[in-house]
Amino acid sequence: MDRQIVFLLVLLLTLLVFGFTVRKYSGYFKHTRKGFPVKQLGRRFGVMMEVAIGQTKIFRRPVMGLLHALVFWGFLVILIGSIEMIIDGLSGTERALAFLGGFHSFIMASGDIFALIIAVGILVFLFRRVFLHVKRFSGIEMKHISHLDANVALTMILLLMVSLLGMNTFYILSATHAGHEVVGLYPISNMFASWIDAGDHNEFWHQFNWWMHIGLIFVFANYLPYSKHFHVFMSVPNVFLSRLEPLGKVDTMESITREVKIMMDPDQAFASPPEGAEAEEEVPERFGIMDVEDVSWKNYFDSLACTECGRCTSVCPANITGKMLSPRKIVMDVRARMKEKGPGLVKNGTDYSDERSLLRDYISEEELWACTLCNACAQECPININHPSIILGMRRYLVMEESAAPGELNAIFSNIENNGAPWQFSQEDRVLWSEGKVEVPLMSDFPAKGENPEYLLWVGSAGAFDDRYKQVSVAFAKVLNHLGISYATLGVEESSSGDVARRAGNEMLFQMQAMMNIELLNGYEVKKIITCDPHAFNTLKNEYPDLGGEYEVIHHSQFLRELMKDGRLSLNGASLSGKKITFHDPCYLGRANGEYNAPREVLEALGSTVEMKRNKSFALCCGAGGGQMFKEAEKGEKEVFIERTEDALETGADIIATACPYCMVMMTDGLKYKNKEEEISNYDIAELVANSLNL
Amino acid sequence: MRILICISNVPDTTTKVKFSTDNTSFDDGGVQWIINPWDELALTRAMELKEDASNPVSNVTVVTVGSPAAEPTLRKALAIGADDAIRVDAVSTDAHFVASQLAAVAANGDFGVVLCGIESSDYNGSAVGGMISEIMGIPSVSAVSEFKFDGGEVVLSRDIDGGKEEVSVPAPFVAIVQKGIAKEPRIAAMRGIMMARKKPLQVVPAADAESFTAYQAFAMPEPKAPCKMVDADNVKELVNLLQNEAKVL
């Protein structure tokens, strides 16, 4: 009975401390931004089963992935044993779940085996951390305390397993000595029990290990929320709360939509305000993220679930090439800043200020502008943390509250606003790419004929103005003409999709462009859109629906594959026979929208292909996304496009194929930099197809 | 000290210029209008000066001469940060007419500094700034590339051949600024755009003033001759073309 009272007191103390922690964190959550509604529970459950319970993303690195998965699955099994221990502790029973019979034996046996596996796994993890210099475990954000925290938590887990095995071993010995039946199966502990025997002290050591195990669980449970290993509690719910949209989709800021609508109605925008209107108009909140109370509750949840594994940073093109940005640091900074400011916010309310902020005191502008928004970090994160949403949120603050974008980006904002393209070309010159090269039907000619083309070809600003990509537009139009596809372009009426403005943080300009384009597209009753530009593809497909533009959007690689499949386009590898082609995955086709196969199927019909070491969802960005195309890269050791060109050169391919205007520019520059432009060519898949058709 | 910035409402630099009515007037159909780039830099610098509390700048006003169609451009200037705006309700005809209107506004408002861009990107007359100072009878400094305060005193710098020239000038004065006065034009922040809707934009009637000049005709430049590309190794062909086709050798 005394034992039960002691246990109850210890349990109550544990729960009390834990309750205090829960209260503290829920206070912090109250000071984060609302939004991110949790819907589609069924789908979420599926994602949780796959990514969290199934551990699918951790297997992107198979060896360490397997070890982690074993530890995780072991924890799940051992958890049932721990529940049994609590019941035993409270009620004075022994092995209270034994009534479950075979299932109990199964759980006990697998828990016993897993305990050994976990102990070995933890020893490997500790060895790696202490003796091997794994690059992923270093970085500016990895302070002494981070390493200490990891080692303390790992040691605790090791002791938990040792005490579990000890408990089982001495339980067997003590029960056998006393002539009791041993409840449950313990293959590993049985083996240990055959090696040691403490005689009269067996029951003492059983009790000792029992108390040590449960005590460690209680200490561990209260240590975790203050450690990076909070992960243990938070990661499964975090996966359940995953962002379900395609990685490429940026969330629409509704507060901006309101403003843009007012702005686009000139009568309202430029009318003098009616008397007394000023008082009525609500004071707008802050645009974007400056400090920790501007992040969404989900961003903060992400930061608590992060275990600082650094897989995000290890695949970040900016970080790989020596720039300051580290996605892991961004997430860790959110947590650290809340730890600093949270208590003040809880105590003094929303208006509390400590004269510091997440932006600049934690995260510098240099880090933010180094991001290519390639989504490799979010793709890689084993628990679906979304780093780009924080980075973009901070860019939005810089641009929309402070006008503090790098000068080159300010210039493209002005260009898009004034002439509808990031480059300074007249809107009227949007048709020049085709002049004298290929006949291209215009949308504006169709209403008079009383008909509508089946497809709209979205040329895009790069397709119309970039010298190299104009050739791709011509090649693709030739293919469409050759196959008798019913299509048209918008000609001078087309304007920047707004993708680059949005990703550079200018949500307002994006929405203005989007609303203008949607009005035009809907006016022409456009249903299906083809484009050679993955950025326009992503924006039109995933982002325009939020603003009233619902279209079936098809990337030209997908379109070509469909034509191949239904037999309208037949390709033979004759023109490219003997040449090896390697395909560079554009981020906004691949990771952002999951399309890896369409371009490959087209290329395989043209010749033999070879993969780069980093391909498909592992592909490295060309370095031009997220507005980087238009600005100087941040300081680093290397340009991203050089790193990526090296991947391509390593394959020994004769042709680098791409399917994106930015990738084209970057890979061409890379070949020039490496003095390989004579030997190796860089083509868009549309050009290769046109070429094989002798167009 | 109050600063007045003269804003010219000009077509976007990528505009395809066309003329109407027998080449005597500019065809403004479908044109996107912007703040004259030099004026935009002047405004940017004025905002920088005002934001630094150690400078004695209390207010920044923008003014333009034009029809209601010019108001979006003034609103943009307000969005960038100007405190208030004035539109002189008249269609601008020539430099003297515009300078007279601007001088009338400047004289009326207790401005310490009148800032003008060195020229407008449409007609490139480079005359208005000097005329304003002449009409008002106050000093002017032209081609200013730096504007700062030193202990409450205005210090202007001008780029001259092989160096720089520093000028001090008593207020009120006109400063005619060139590129360099601000690093890059500031773009309007979202917050600024929202505030701009509520800022005062005053419309004043035109003062009596004469136009001294009238446009007789505009002519487009000759289109560029087609370009022939010659391979870098093919010097023979180059010489041949220069000799026999271009007949310059």
Q: Using a CB-CB distance cutoff of 8 angstroms, which residues of chain B are in contact with residue A256?
A: 190
Helix (H) or strand (E) holding A149: helix A144-178
Q: Decide if A457 contacts A555 (C-beta within 8 A).
A: no
Q: How far apart are CA A451 and CA A416, in angstroms?
A: 32
pLDDT, chain A, mean: 94
- Between the alpha carbon of residue A88 and those of residues A94, A333, A345, the distances in Å are 6, 42, 42
Residue of B nearest to A493 (CA): B30
Q: Structure tokens of A179?
A: 């002539």
Which of A414, A415, A428 is the best residue to mutate to test the B interface, defined by the most B CB atoms within 10 Å of its own CB? A414
Q: Decide if B118 contacts B176 (C-beta within 8 A).
A: yes
Q: What is the pLDDT of residue B229?
A: 82
pLDDT-derived band at A266, boundaries 50, 70, 90: low
What is the CATH number that goes with domain A254-272+286-407? Answer: 1.10.1060
Instruction: Quickly tell me which residue has 């995933």 as its tokens.
Output: A542
Q: What is the pLDDT of residue A118?
A: 97
Residues 6 or more apart in contact with residue B55 via CB below 8 angstroms:
B49, B149
Q: Using a CB-CB distance cutoff of 8 angstroms, which residues of chain A are in contact with residue B193?
A: 259, 263, 508
Q: Of A530, A527, A461, whose CA–CA distance to A686 is shortest?
A: A530
Q: Which of A29-43, A369-383, A565-579 is predicted with the least confidence, judged by mean pLDDT?
A: A565-579
List beta partners, residue B31: none
Q: Structure tokens of A231?
A: 């992960």
Q: How far apart are CA A247 and CA A241, in angstroms?
A: 15
Question: Averaged over A666-671, what is the pLDDT?
Answer: 97
- Per DSSP, the residues of B153-196 read EEEEEEEETTEEEEEE-PSSEEEEE-TTSSSSPPPPPHHHHHHH
Q: What is the pLDDT of residue A280?
A: 45
Q: Structure tokens of A190?
A: 């049985």
pLDDT tens by residue, B37-72:
999 999 999 999 999 999 999 999 999 999 999 999
Question: Averaged over A180-184, what is the pLDDT?
Answer: 89
Q: How is domain B2-220 classified at the CATH fold level? A: Rossmann fold (3.40.50)
List beta partners, residue A609: A581
Q: How far apart are CA A231 and CA A287, in angstroms?
A: 30
Q: What is the pLDDT of residue B25?
A: 86
Q: Could A410 and B12 be called an inter-chain contact, meaning their C-beta atoms sit closer than 8 Å? A: no
Helix, strand, coil % in chain B, rounded to nearest 5: 30, 30, 45
Q: How far apart are CA B158 and CA B142, in angstroms?
A: 8
Q: Decide if A567 contacts A526 (C-beta within 8 A).
A: no
Collapsing DSSP states into helix, strand and coil, what is residue B34? Answer: strand
Residue A278 contacts B where some CB pair is shorter than 8 Å: yes
Residue ranges of E strands in A507-572: 528-531, 552-555
Question: Averaged over A163-185, what is the pLDDT?
Answer: 93
- The DSSP output letter for A536 is H
Torsion of CA A447, A448, A449, A454, to 10 degrees: -20
Residue A511 contacts B where some CB pair is shorter than 8 Å: no
pLDDT-derived band at A572, boundaries 50, 70, 90: confident
Nearest CB to B186; choose among A269, A403, A428: A403
- Our CA-based measurement puts residue A421 at a distance from the nearest CA of chain B, in whole angstroms, of 11
Equal fold, A254-272+286-407 vs A416-565: no
- Between the alpha carbon of residue A121 and those of residues A311, A381, A409, A656, the distances in Å are 19, 21, 48, 42
Residues 6 or more apart in contact with residue A142 via CB below 8 angstroms:
A308, A310
Q: How far apart are CA A409 and CA A388, in angstroms?
A: 19
Q: In three state form, how does the secondary structure of A68-120 look? A: HHHHHHHHHHHHHHHHHHHHHHHHCCCCHHHHHCHHHHHHHHHHHHHHHHHHH
Q: How far apart are CA A492 and CA B97, in angstroms?
A: 37
* Total residues belonging to chain A: 695
Q: Is the confidence at residue B20, as pLDDT, over 90?
A: no
Architecture of domain A573-692 in CATH?
3-Layer(aba) Sandwich (3.40)
Q: Is the confidence at residue A282, as pLDDT, over 60?
A: no
Burial class of residue A301 in the structure, from the number of CB atoms within 10 Å of its CB (0-12 exposed, 13-18 middle, 19+ buried): buried
Q: Decide if A587 contacts A625 (C-beta within 8 A).
A: yes
- Per DSSP, the residues of A305-317 read H-----HHHHH-H
Q: Is the confidence at residue A154, as pLDDT, over 70?
A: yes
End-to-end distance of chain B based on CA atoms, in angstroms? 63
pLDDT tens by residue, A343-391:
999 999 999 999 999 999 999 999 999 999 999 999 999 999 999 999 9
Collapsing DSSP states into helix, strand and coil, what is residue B175? Answer: strand
Q: How far apart are CA B214 and CA A374, in angstroms?
A: 57
List beta partners, residue B60: B3
Residue A256 contacts B where some CB pair is shorter than 8 Å: yes
Q: What is the pLDDT of residue B138?
A: 97
Residue B184 contacts A where some CB pair is shorter than 8 Å: yes
Q: Could A399 and B189 be called an inter-chain contact, meaning their C-beta atoms sit closer than 8 Å? A: yes
Parse chain B into domains and list their residue ranges.
Answer: 2-220
Q: Backbone phi, then psi, for A647, in 5-degree steps?
A: -55, -45
Residue A258 contacts B where some CB pair is shorter than 8 Å: no
Q: Could B197 and A273 be called an inter-chain contact, meaning their C-beta atoms sit closer than 8 Å? A: yes
Q: Backbone phi, then psi, for A651, in 5-degree steps?
A: -75, -20
* Cα angle A661-A243-A223, degrees, rounded to a multiple of 5: 125
Q: How far apart are CA B111 and CA A623, in angstroms?
A: 50
Q: Could A419 and B32 be called an inter-chain contact, meaning their C-beta atoms sit closer than 8 Å? A: yes
Residue B31 contacts A where some CB pair is shorter than 8 Å: no
Q: Structure tokens of B5?
A: 């910035």
Q: What is the pLDDT of residue B228?
A: 81
Architecture of domain A416-565 in CATH?
3-Layer(aba) Sandwich (3.40)
Q: Decide if A294 contacts A253 (C-beta within 8 A).
A: no
- The DSSP output letter for A611 is -
Collapsing DSSP states into helix, strand and coil, what is residue A322? Answer: coil
> Helices A297-305 and A231-240 sit at what angle, rounded to 10 degrees?
140
- Per DSSP, the residues of A352-387 read ---S--IIIIIB-HHHHHT-----HHHHH-TT----
pLDDT-derived band at A116, boundaries 50, 70, 90: very high
Question: Averaged over A615-643, what is the pLDDT?
Answer: 96
Q: Using a CB-CB distance cutoff of 8 angstroms, which residues of chain A are in contact with residue B186?
A: 403, 410
> Does residue A246 have a cis peptide bond before it, meaning omega lies within 30 degrees of 0?
no
Q: Is the confidence at residue A294, as pLDDT, over 90?
A: yes
Q: Given CA atoms A266, A270, A275, A279 in this order, what sign does their dihedral have? A: positive
List beta partners, residue A657: A583, A683
Q: Could A401 and B190 be called an inter-chain contact, meaning their C-beta atoms sit closer than 8 Å? A: yes
Helix (H) or strand (E) holding B146: strand B140-150
Q: Of A28, A42, A579, whose CA–CA distance to A343 is shortest?
A: A28
Residue A181 contacts B where some CB pair is shorter than 8 Å: no
Scanning B194-233 for CB atoms below 8 A from A yields 194, 197-198, 201
Q: Is the confidence at residue A44, as pLDDT, over 60?
A: yes
Q: How far apart are CA A300 and CA A389, in angstroms?
A: 12
Q: Decide if B41 contacts B177 (C-beta within 8 A).
A: yes
Q: What is the pLDDT of residue A281?
A: 52
Collapsing DSSP states into helix, strand and coil, what is residue A343? Answer: helix
Q: Could B189 and A403 be called an inter-chain contact, meaning their C-beta atoms sit closer than 8 Å? A: yes
Question: Averaged over B121-130, what is the pLDDT?
Answer: 94
Instruction: Quickly tell me which residue has 């006065």 as its tokens.
Output: B181
Q: How far apart are CA A669 and CA A646, in angstroms?
A: 12
Q: How far apart are CA A503 and CA A412, in angstroms?
A: 12
Q: Is the confidence at residue A284, as pLDDT, over 70?
A: no
Residues 6 or more apart in contact with residue A1 via CB below 8 angstroms:
A92
Residue A265 contacts B where some CB pair is shorter than 8 Å: no
Q: Of A418, A403, A288, whose CA–CA distance to B193 is shortest?
A: A403
More confident residue, A399 or B233: A399
pLDDT, chain B, mean: 93
Residue of B nearest to A409 (CA): B187
Amino acid (1-letter code) at residue A321? T
Q: Using a CB-CB distance cutoff of 8 angstroms, which residues of chain A are in contact with residue B201?
A: 272
Q: Backbone phi, then psi, for B101, in 5-degree steps?
A: -65, -45
Question: Averaged over A88-98, what is the pLDDT?
Answer: 92
Q: Using a CB-CB distance cutoff of 8 angstroms, which residues of chain B are in contact with residue A266?
A: 72
Q: What is the pLDDT of residue B71?
A: 95
Which of A403, A413, A465 is the best residue to mutate to test the B interface, defined by the most B CB atoms within 10 Å of its own CB? A403
Residues 6 or more apart in contact with residue B197 via CB below 8 angstroms:
A262, A269, A270, A273, B75
Q: How far apart are CA A513 and CA A414, in angstroms?
A: 13
Q: Decide if A331 contacts A346 (C-beta within 8 A).
A: no
Nearest CB to B184; choose among A410, A418, A429: A410
Neighbours of A344 (CB within 10 A): 13
Q: What is the pLDDT of residue A278?
A: 47
Q: How far apart are CA B173 and CA B178, in angstroms?
A: 16
